[in-house]
Amino acid sequence: DAGVTQSPTHLIKTRGQQVTLRCSPKSGHDTVSWYQQALGQGPQFIFQYYEEEERQRGNFPDRFSGHQFPNYSSELNVNALLLGDSALYLCASSRETGGEKLFFGSGTQLSVL
Amino acid sequence: QKEVEQNSGPLSVPEGAIASLNCTYSDRGSQSFFWYRQYSGKSPELIMFIYSNGDKEDGRFTAQLNKASQYVSLLIRDSQPSDSATYLCAVDRGSTLGRLYFGRGTQLTVWP
């Protein structure tokens, strides 16, 4: 049983560029959340997708957007990259109907130069 | 005031000792509490969760919750060098599972 998978593992971009990160949830999970973890900080909630819609959103600008596909996989898009967007981006999946565990993927390390 | 605050680290203990990690939270309505372990460069791994006041034990780990004091702790008994990692406290405020509020973590080093 595959867990949460994220791609790519590492990414280097320059300021102003756009980036797309991908996530496949754990089998049986239908809810995907994205978190940003800056160096030395705890993860910060970006948004959550369920039934292909953004259901909750944290305090992140509109440059951060996402999508969920019918197979529950998800994408995180960041436009107009800033140096401060450099971080580990974590995808986490769960089941809407229950489950007390949030499963994290291995993350995408984004560096903005 | 931050949603979740953890005791400042880093914390360093000898092998075999008890490591004590502390966390406070601001929202009195919070319902679920989690401890994650994160090795350097890796993703967080859930090690304990607790919902009710009191203690919950799992092997060498004990989570303690005091909702009146808005306080959560994690005790690691018989600490091993492999326990060296950053420990993240996270709180679910009662919204749909998936939105957690994390502290910034406490770095633990267990020396042989």
pLDDT (tens digit per residue) in A19-46: 999 999 999 899 999 999 999 999 999 9
Token digits for A6?
Answer: 């994220």
Q: Tokens for B79? A: 């600490």
Report the pLDDT averaged over residues A74-84.
Answer: 98
The residue of B43, B45, B95 whose CB has the most chain A CBs within 10 angstroms, and thus the best one to mutate to test that interface, is B43
Provide, as residue numbers in chain A, all residues whose Cβ is less than 8 Å from the Cβ of B97: 31, 94-96, 99-100, 102
User: What integer pLDDT is reported at residue B38 of this predicted model?
Assistant: 96
Cβ pair B111, B12 in contact under 8 A? yes
Q: What is the pLDDT of residues B44-101, one digit of tens each?
A: 999 999 999 999 999 999 999 999 999 999 999 999 999 999 999 999 887 656 689 9
DSSP state of A52: T
Tell me how far apart the alpha carbons of residues B54 and A23 are, in angstroms, rounded to a whole number: 37
State the best of A72, A100, A106 to mutate against chain B, taking most chain B CBs within 10 Å. A100
Torsion over CA of A96, A102, A105 and A109, rounded to 10 degrees?
A: 110
- The pLDDT assigned to B7 comes to 79
Task: At B83, give phi and psi (nearest 5°).
Answer: -80, -10
* pLDDT, position B86: 96
Query: The tokens 């090795």 sit on which residue?
Result: B39
Nearest 5°: phi and psi at A83?
Answer: -55, -35
How many residues are present in chain A? 113
Q: Who wins on pLDDT, B36 or A95?
A: B36
Instruction: Assess whether pLDDT exceeds 70 at residue A97.
Output: no
| Residue A99 binned pLDDT confidence (cut-offs 50, 70, 90) | low
Alpha carbons A38 and A107: distance in angstroms, whole number: 12
pLDDT higher than threshold 60 for residue A98:
no
Of B32, B43, B100, the CB nearest to A45: B100
Cα B107 to Cα A4, B32, B76, B100, distances in angstroms: 25, 22, 13, 20
Fill in the DSSP letter of residue A88. E
Distance from C-alpha of B58 to C-alpha of B51, rounded to nearest angstrom? 14
Binary contact (B97, A58; C-beta < 8 A): no
